[in-house]
Structure 1
Amino acid sequence: MMSSRGKVLSRRELNRAFLERQLLSERAQSGVEDVLRHLVGLQAQQPAPPYFGLWSRLKGFEPDDLARLILDRRVVRANLMRCTVHLVTADDCLVLRRVTAPMIDRALRANPERAAELEKIPDLAGFAEAARELLAEPRGIKELGELLAPRWPECEPAELARIAQLVVPSLQTPPRGVWGRSSRPAWAAIESWLGRPIPAEADPGPLLLRYLAAFGPATVADMQQWSGLTGLAEICARLELRTFRDERGRTLLDLPDAPLPGPDAPAPVRFLAEYDNAILSHADRSRIIDRSLLGAVVTKNGIVRGTVLVDGFVRAMWKIERPGAVVVTPFAKLSGDDASAVEEEGMRLLAFAAPAARTHDVRLDPVAD
C-alpha cells in the first residue's frame, strides 16, 4: 500500500473530490450504461429516484434513455449492496450478486421472523430448487408465495416468497422501474432473465477499487457501509492504494491517480434524488451533509428524502408537490444568489420531470425547523 500519511484532507477537499467522482460537479456526456458502471449502480428501491439520479449527473438525459435499457434487459434492478435494490448494468449484476452473496445470506437470517420461517424449511436446497423453477419467469410476491405454500404449508406464504427471492438470486422485472409504466414488483431468477450464469467466484478487490473511483477517498468503514460486506481491511491491504488522513485522524484510502480537486473548485447547485447513493454510501457522511441534518433527511423508517446541494453540501430538501411544481425547504436561509440558483435548477428539474405541465413553479418554503 502506498503512503501519503502526512497529507490531511479537509472536509471541503473530500467534498470536492466526492462531487467530481459522483459526476455532480459537472454533468457527464457519456451514456447511461457508462454512468451506471462508473457509479457501481444507483439505489433503486423505488422506481423514480434513479431517473432523477441520472438526470442530476448526465447531460441531456431523458427518461426513455433508461427505460429502453430496462426493457432490453441491459440494465436491471436487483438486491445487491446492503441487500437493497440497486439499478445496475446486466454485466455488473452477475458479478455483484456473487460478491455480495455472503452478505445477502446473512441478511436472510438477520430478520427474526424470517429466521423462524427458515427453521421450518429443513431442506433449503430443495426449497431453492423449487423456487428456481418457479422464478424462471416473473412472479409477484403473492403468486410466488401461493405456489410455494402447498409444499411448505407450515410457513407464511408471503415469507416463503421473500425467502425465495433471496435464496435464488433474483431481480425485479419490467414494467417495474419503467418511467410512467411502473407496477408492483415481480421477481425472476437473474440467470433466467439474463440468459447467463452468475460466476462461481468473484474477487471483492476490484469492486473496492471501483467504489473508490466513485466515492473515495474513503475509510474501510465507509466501504463496509456502502457494500454491507465485512473483512474488507484485509482485502484493502493487498491493493495498491495511497493513504491520507481526514481532519479527525482517520485513515483514508484512495486510488493512486484519482482526482483531488482543490477546496475552492466550483460546486453548482444540484438536486439529489430520494435514496441517492451520495447520501447513503459512507459511514461518515459529513463530506456532504452535516450530522445535525441526517435525522431530517434519513427518517427512522428508512425513507431518504430528496436533497439540494448548495456549494457542495446539503442545504435543503425538495419534493414534487404536483406535476409542474416542486417545493424546496431550506435548512437555513439561503443568500439571494443561492436562492436564485436553486430556483433555476428547480425549473430545469421540472422541465425534465413534467415537460407537458402547463406551468412550472419552484416554491421556496420557510426554513425547516
Structure 2
Amino acid sequence: MLDRYALNRALFERQSLLRPAGHTALQAVERLVGMQAQAPLAPYVGLWTRLRDFRPDDLAGLITGRQVVRIALMRGTIHLVTAADCRTLRPLLQPLLDRALRSGAGRRLTGLDLHAIAAAGRELVDERPRTFGELGAALTERWPGHAPADLAHVIRALVPLVQVPPRGLWGHGGQATHTSAETWLGGRLDPAPALDDLVLRYLAGYGPATPRDIQVWSGLTRLREVVDGLRPRLRVFHDEHGNEVFDLPDAPRPDPGTPAPPRFLPEYDNLLRSHADRTRVLPGGHRDRLATPNDSPRPAFLVDGFVHGTWKLTRARGTATLTIEPFASLPDPGAVTAEAARLLEFAAAGDTHDIKIAEVTAG
C-alpha cells in the first residue's frame, strides 16, 4: 500500500522537485511530457524550480530554434512540448479535440463540411501565421452567416496548430499567431503513434497512478483497457482507498519520510493538474483557494511536498515584490523566504527585491 506521502515523494522525485536536476531544458520538457503553458511564461518558472542553473534564454532559444513548440494537447490546453513529442502526441490526442468540437462549435455548424473548412484554414495559416481573429474573419468570407470564432475553432480542432514566436518568449508579449505543425517543423506527424507509449511516459513522470489519473491528465477516455494490456509490464500497488495504482517496475519510489524543501510553482503547473485525486499534493479544502474569480489558478508554493499557499509577483518603480499568502502558519518561514528570494533573483533580475508574508486567512 502506498499512502499519500509515498505517492507525494514518488511524484516529487520524478518531477525533479526533491532536488534540482542537472538536465538541460530540452531534456526536462521531454521528461515531463510537456509543460502546461496557457500562461506564456509559466514554463520558465516551472523549469527554474526543477533545474540547476536554468536561465530564460535556455528555453527561449529552444522555442526560436523550433526544438520545442506551443500547441493544444492534453486536456485540450496549450502545452510546451518537444518537437518530437508534438509529432506523436498531437495525433494521439485527436479524439479529445474531436469530442470538444462535436460538443461545441460543431453543433452550431451543422450541415457544413468541417473538413473543407479545415482544409481552407490550413491553407490560410500555412500562407502566413494568423491569430484566431484573423482566421475566423477570413473564413467567414467563404462561409458567411456563421460565427468567426466557431469557424476558427474547427481549425484548432482539426489542424495541428502551433503558436509561433514571439509568443512564449521571456520578456515578450503579443497575441498568439498560429501555423501548422507540419509547416513549422517540416515533415509529417507520426501516422501511427502508440497509446502504450503515452501511458508509460505518463507513469515515468507522474506515477504511481490509476487509469483515471491518466485520463484526467490526458483528457482521453477508455485508458483502463490500455493499462490492463500493460499490466504484465507494470507493478501494481494500492492507495489508501484501496484503488489499484500502477507504476513502472524500476521507477523511483523514495522513502515517504524523505525531506521535501519549499518549492514555488507557476500557475497551471501540471504537478497540480495531472491526477484525479489531487490530495497527493493538494490537501482537501485548498483546491478552491487556488482559483481566481475567472477560474484561472494562482501560482502556488509547497511546503513538505504539499500546497501551502499562493504567491504573486508585482513590480512598481523598480521594486519587485513577492507576496506570500499562506493557507496556514509556516513551519519554517526562513526556508520559504529563502526560496522566494531565489525566485526573485531569477524572475526580477535588476530590480530591488522585497518579500512580504501575508496574514493567514480562513479558507
Q: Is the structural similarity TM-score above 0.5?
A: yes
Residue of structure 2 equivalent to 1:84: 77
Distance in 1 (CA, whole Å) between partners of 2:314 and 2:285 is: 26
Q: Which residues of 2 match residues 73-222 of structure 1 at below 5 A?
A: 73-111=66-104, 114-121=105-112, 123-136=113-126, 137-222=128-213
Residue of structure 1 equivalent to 2:223: 232
Q: Deviation at 1:45?
A: 0.8
Distance in 1 (CA, whole Å) between partners of 2:279 and 2:237 is: 17
Distance in 2 (CA, whole Å) between partners of 1:153 and 1:216 is: 48
What letter is aligned with 2:107? A
CA distances 1:49-85 after superposition (whole Å, capped 9, x unpaired): 1110010101111111101111111110000001100
Q: Deviation at 1:39?
A: 0.3
SS in 2 for 1:292: coil
Residue 265 in structure 1 maps to residue 258 in structure 2: yes
C-alpha RMSD of the superposition? 1.2
What letter is aligned with 2:68? V
CA distances 1:286-331 after superposition (whole Å, capped 9, x unpaired): 0001121000113464311111111111111111022521000010
2:117–2:154 CA contact under 8 A, matched in 1: no
SS in 2 for 1:286: helix
User: TM-score when scaled to structure 1?
Assistant: 0.94
Distance in 2 (CA, whole Å) between partners of 1:31 and 1:320 is: 26
Matched residue pairs, number? Answer: 356
Residue of structure 2 equivalent to 1:327: 323
**Structure 2 runs not aligned, ≥5 long:** none
1:41–1:87 CA contact under 8 A, matched in 2: yes
Sequence identity percentage: 48
Distance in 2 (CA, whole Å) between partners of 1:102 and 1:343 is: 44
Residue of structure 2 equivalent to 1:241: 234
Distance in 2 (CA, whole Å) between partners of 1:120 and 1:178 is: 40
SS in 2 for 1:289: coil
2:118–2:154 CA contact under 8 A, matched in 1: no
Residue of structure 2 equivalent to 1:3: none
SS in 2 for 1:132: helix
Residue of structure 2 equivalent to 1:340: 334
1:16 is matched with which residue: 9, 24, 31? 9
CA distances 1:187-210 after superposition (whole Å, capped 9, x unpaired): 111111111211222111111111
Residue 274 in structure 1 maps to residue 272 in structure 2: no
Residue 42 in structure 1 maps to residue 35 in structure 2: yes
**Structure 1 runs not aligned, ≥5 long:** 1-7
User: TM-score when scaled to structure 2?
Assistant: 0.96
What letter is aligned with 1:341? A
